[in-house]
Amino acid sequence: MIRAALIALVFAAPLAAQTQVPSSQAEISLGFAPLVKQAAPAVVNIYAKIVTQQRQRTPFSNDPFFDDFFRGFTKPQPRVQNSLGSGVILSADGIVVSNYHVVGMATEIRVVTTDRREYNARVVLADKASDLAILQLEGATDLPFLDLRNSDQVEVGELALAIGNPFGVGQTVSSGIISGLARTGTATGEGFGYYLQTDAAINPGNSGGALIDVNGDLIGINTRIISRSGGSNGIGFSIPANLVREFVNQAQQGAEEFQRPWAGMSGQPVDADMAASLGMELPLGMVISDLHPASPFAEQGFKVGDVITAVEGQVVNSPSEMVFRMSVVGMGGRAQITRLRGVEAADVLVKMMAAPNTPSADLLQMTENSMLPGLIVARINPAVILRLGLPLSAEGVVITNPGRNGARAGLRPGDVLQEINGNPVTNTVDVPTVLAESGRKVKVILLRGGQRLTLQFRL
């Protein structure tokens, strides 16, 4: 099959870490036809329908004052959006991986195979931050599927094929090479920004499609491009297969949402000046700039100023790489973290755990009869910090939902309450008590993005 064809093409297996280009015109003329015949049937077209509620426009829709006034006078109208993308079959019983931005919010999903079989599909597990979604095809059996390769073994210069449905023209194959590894902060969108880069043409509709190697194994899920025109400029990005593998594992274990280990830290890449100040010969790794007391890293003796250079032997040079590497390791167990402190390097085992929801968040929602109906507040703990993206040093009470009146007054999710009408707020139960004594005028002092703000409004 494919491996026999690869022998004819004189390609060494990826595990040998040696690939050779065709050495004769006869070998070149063989092309990728055997590879495509084997791999293409496992790549599917996805048609997703998304129903959203959209308010009717009024003459005051763009007016910052009257838009709020007329908000309740127009009824939301359902609007149907159709999304076209690709997916990759990963098991004979119909496990399919695609992008979150293709199917994550879909109300109806239809999957079509290359032999024109059609299946309804449901989302089993989806994560906006990683831009990945796992689907289950209904009634599927004996489907062709692709094997996942260890994407940490992929090398720059390897041949790669991108398979998908660009612009809805039908399944298309484009060839190229792996142009870069561990690309971070170069692609746009919701993803964490850790990608394989390829010059194989990727266009709209290729999202969720396969990036395969010369063995026909999946090395990435095509997801983003850099382009001013909207078409391929030879700079495309794929989510590495190792992260896809962890998604499939969690989906098969019945996870309702993707769980990634919590580091409880913030950091930044080590640059040349920082390396010199830390006594390092070369700038490498990520220096810890803040550490939560409940962090599993703090438990193992890590400190602010320590440099993390690797997770499970894989180099990390930025916070996004750290998040990716910990996500690939998965929940439970321990990961080997390489730490540099001064001139001393050490390998430390650290628990891969979720952000603890302790002390209790004590969620409290204001009733419809209160001054701020629908307002929801919570006590800050590590889980709340992670969910709302708060600073690691945050403490006290935070708004998770401002409610309709609170939103109009300027309150936002993530606002950390400090005072209401001069009364300090230290617990969630303080909020309804203080508001009940406030009268119609309210003065709130809060922290937003590290800045102290004062809001005054009348209810």
Known catalytic residues are 101, 131, 207
Q: DSSP for 366-399?
A: --TTSSSTT-EEEE--HHHHHHHT--TT--SEEE
Phi then psi dihedrals of residue 366, to 5 deg? -70, 140
Q: DSSP for 39-60?
A: HGGGEEEEEEEEEEEEEPP-TT
Phi then psi dihedrals of residue 427, to 5 deg? -135, 160
Instruction: Catalogue the E-assigned strands of 270-380.
Output: 286-291, 307-311, 314-315, 334-341, 344-351, 364-365, 376-379
- Cα–Cα distance for residue pair 94/145, rounded to 1 Å: 9
- Cα–Cα distance for residue pair 368/366, rounded to 1 Å: 7
**CB atoms inside a 10 Å sphere around CB 364:** 18
Closest of 181, 153, 286, 200 to residue 239, by C-alpha: 181
Taking a C-beta distance cutoff of 8 angstroms, is the pair 393, 294 a contact?
A: no
By three-state DSSP, how is residue 338 classified? strand
**Which amino acid, residue 412?**
R
Taking a C-beta distance cutoff of 8 angstroms, is the pair 238, 211 a contact?
A: yes
- Residues 417, 422, 427, 431, CA torsion sign: negative
- Residues 379, 383, 388, 389, CA torsion sign: positive
- Cα–Cα distance for residue pair 453/355, rounded to 1 Å: 28
| DSSP run (H or E) holding 194 | none
For 296, the token pair is 């599993």
**CB atoms inside a 10 Å sphere around CB 274:** 15
